[in-house]
Structure formats: structure tokens, C-alpha cells
């Protein structure tokens, strides 16, 4: 079966960018970002957005396409990425989908059923309840009406808890039921081979995460969040400001105490990585590369070359 696009996934700080650019040095590829933070303009340091040199090495797509006051969905990603794959292929180049937003990978490879649109009134009511009761209380409510979804969400995963409750309250049907009703004609997995960078040692990944967060702080991450706050039209309930790191920085600035930020930011990023690995392990057809192996980059490049055919 002809490969439509090669997918490169992995938890944060696993070396995806280096592997993607290594393939770009060998093949005419265009990189399609699969990252729910990179779509937002102005979220540069805290999202580890590719720099000018990295973007010059290969064309990049789905970066800086949305204002942080707006939202971006898995359905919109599928539409955008599908269009880009067709356009890149028509140019005689290889589409390389790279990122760590596993819901986007799953939506693209497995398909999505049309779910209810966002209801501003329901969302506002849930925001008000969360402010009064806390997201763990809403997570407990979700567990009663949609235990399947609640079981895979952390009690403070505000964005996904809100969306799941919003769908249930608006349609009377759990979001897990909508997702199970995804279109029957799924893209063949062989046409979307997935190379997955996964650490054999969680301690190795934790050290990489800490190093990356320290580098972000040194690069001016707090000033970046201050500038976003000073716009006046952003708030912590927006999907952009719920991104890992940004949420913790906003809370620290609200509290007027930056001392706990490093510890909380690193802890939140570790939790994100844990969720990403859980998603990946539910994709049995993936090609696993141990990203903490001494020759990880060479192994990743070989796997990508094989996947591309």
C-alpha cells in the first residue's frame, strides 16, 4: 500500500525535532506539526517552537496559524492536515507529520465522527462551576456520566474535562460514544506508518524535561507569559493558556510568587509525557524506537526511511 504520510510521534523532549530534520537532510520532506500548542502565535518559548534555523531546514506547516484568544480543534486539524498532505504529495515531496498531540494523530489516522459544536453558554457555566468547585469536582461528575472518558483524564485536565462535559450536557450522549462512532472507513494504518520515540528509562526523560524547562526559563519564558497577559484579552480558561507550562506560569504570576514555578512546570510536563506514552501504547502498529539509546538518532532515521519506503 502506498504511504500517504509518515508520522513521527513521542512524548515531549524525546528528540522528535532532531529526527525529523535528519530525515529532511536526506529526503525532500515537508513537516506538518501535530502539536496543539505550536498552532498559537506568541506561544514560542514555552512550546519549544522550532526556530528560524530549524524552519529553514525544511518547510513547516500548522505553526503560528491561530491567535491565542481563539481555539483549535482536532476536527480542524484533520481538515488542515489532510489538505496539506495532498498538497505536499502533489509537489512531489514527502509529508512528515511530527508532534506529541496524540489526539490529533488518532483523529487523523482513525477518523472522527462529527461531534456537537462548542456551546458558549454551557462552556461559560462550566467555567463558573470550575472556579467555585475546582476541576476535580467536575472530573468526578464526568466519571458518573462518562466513566470511559474520565478514566483516561487527570482530575485537573481542565480542557478535556470541560469538552467532555460540554458534549454530554449539549447532546445527552457521552463523548466516548461519539468517538466510538468514528467513521467506519478508517484510513489504512499502513498508509500512515507511525514511528514512536519512547524512552526505556523514565528517569532519562525526566532529566530531559527538567533541562528543557530550565532552558525555557533562561530564554525568557516568564516575560513571554507576562506579555501575553498584558494583551488584556486572554485568560486562564482559554485552550492556549491551558497549555502545559503556560498554565503554571499564569498561576505563578497571579499569585505573585514565581518560586514554585520550576517545580510545578516540570511536574506538569512529566504528567503530560506520561499521558502521551499511554496514548502511544494504545497504538500497537507503531514502530518503537528507544529514544534514550546511544544511537537513538540513527535508529529513528532508519525507521523513518523504512516507513517512507
Q: Which residues are annotated as a binding site for substrate?
A: 12-17
CA 271 to CA 265: how far, in whole Å? 10
Q: Which residues are annotated as a binding site for ATP?
A: 10-17
- Half-sphere exposure of residue 116, counting CA atoms within 13 Å on the CB side? 20
Q: What are phi and psi of 94, to 5 degrees?
A: -95, 120
- Cα torsion angle, 17, 20, 26, 28, sign: negative
* 122 burial via Cβ count (<10 Å: 0-12, 13-18, 19+): middle
Find all residues with CB under 8 Å of 68, minimum gap 6, and list them.
Answer: 40, 41, 42, 43, 228, 234, 238, 240, 241
DSSP 67: -
Collapse the DSSP code of 78 into the 3-class scheme (helix H, G, I; strand E, B; otherwise coil) and give the result.
Answer: helix
Beta bridge partners of 220: none
Name residue, grid cell 509537489.
91
Q: Which residues are annotated as a binding site?
A: 10-17
- Half-sphere exposure of residue 43, counting CA atoms within 13 Å on the CB side? 28
Find all residues with CB under 8 Å of 70, minimum gap 6, and list them.
Answer: none
Amino acid at each position: 500500500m502506498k504511504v500517504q504520510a509518515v508520522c513521527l510521534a513521542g512524548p515531549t523532549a524525546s528528540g522528535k525535532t532532531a529526527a525529523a530534520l535528519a530525515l529532511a537532510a536526506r529526503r525532500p520532506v515537508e513537516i506538518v506539526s501535530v502539536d496543539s500548542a505550536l498552532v498559537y502565535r506568541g506561544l514560542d518559548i514555552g512550546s519549544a517552537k522550532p526556530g528560524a534555523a530549524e524552519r529553514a531546514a525544511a518547510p513547516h506547516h500548522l505553526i503560528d496559524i491561530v491567535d491565542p484568544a481563539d481555539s483549535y480543534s482536532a476536527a480542524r486539524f484533520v481538515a488542515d492536515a489532510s489538505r496539506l498532505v495532498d498538497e505536499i504529495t502533489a509537489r512531489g515531496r514527502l509529508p512528515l507529520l511530527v508532534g506529541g498531540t496524540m489526539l490529533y494523530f488518532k483523529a487523523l489516522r482513525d477518523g472522527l465522527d462529527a461531534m456537537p459544536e462548542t456551546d458558549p453558554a454551557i462552556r461559560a457555566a462550566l467555567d463558573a462551576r470550575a472556579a467555585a468547585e475546582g476541576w476535580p469536582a467536575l472530573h468526578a461528575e464526568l466519571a458518573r456520566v462518562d466513566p470511559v472518558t474520565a478514566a483516561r483524564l487527570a482530575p485537573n485536565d481542565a480542557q478535556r474535562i470541560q469538552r467532555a462535559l460540554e458534549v454530554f450536557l449539549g447532546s445527552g450522549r457521552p463523548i466516548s460514544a461519539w468517538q466510538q462512532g468514528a467513521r467506519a472507513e478508517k484510513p489504512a494504518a499502513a498508509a500512515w506508518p507511525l514511528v514512536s520515540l519512547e524512552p526505556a528509562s523514565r528517569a532519562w526523560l525526566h532529566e530531559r524535561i527538567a533541562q528543557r524547562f530550565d532552558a525555557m526559563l533562561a530564554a525568557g519564558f516568564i516575560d513571554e507569559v507576562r506579555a501575553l497577559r498584558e494583551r488584556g484579552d486572554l485568560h486562564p480558561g482559554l485552550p492556549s493558556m491551558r497549555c502545559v507550562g503556560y498554565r503554571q506560569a499564569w498561576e505563578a504570576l497571579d499569585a505573585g510568587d514565581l518560586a514554585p514555578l520550576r517545580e510545578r512546570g516540570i511536574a506538569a510536563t512529566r504528567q503530560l509525557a506520561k499521558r502521551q506514552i499511554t496514548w502511544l501504547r494504545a497504538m500497537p502498529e507503531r514502530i518503537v524506537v528507544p529514544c534514550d539509546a546511544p544511537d537513538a538518532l540513527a535508529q529513528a532515521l532508519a525507521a523513518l526511511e523504512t516507513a517512507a519506503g
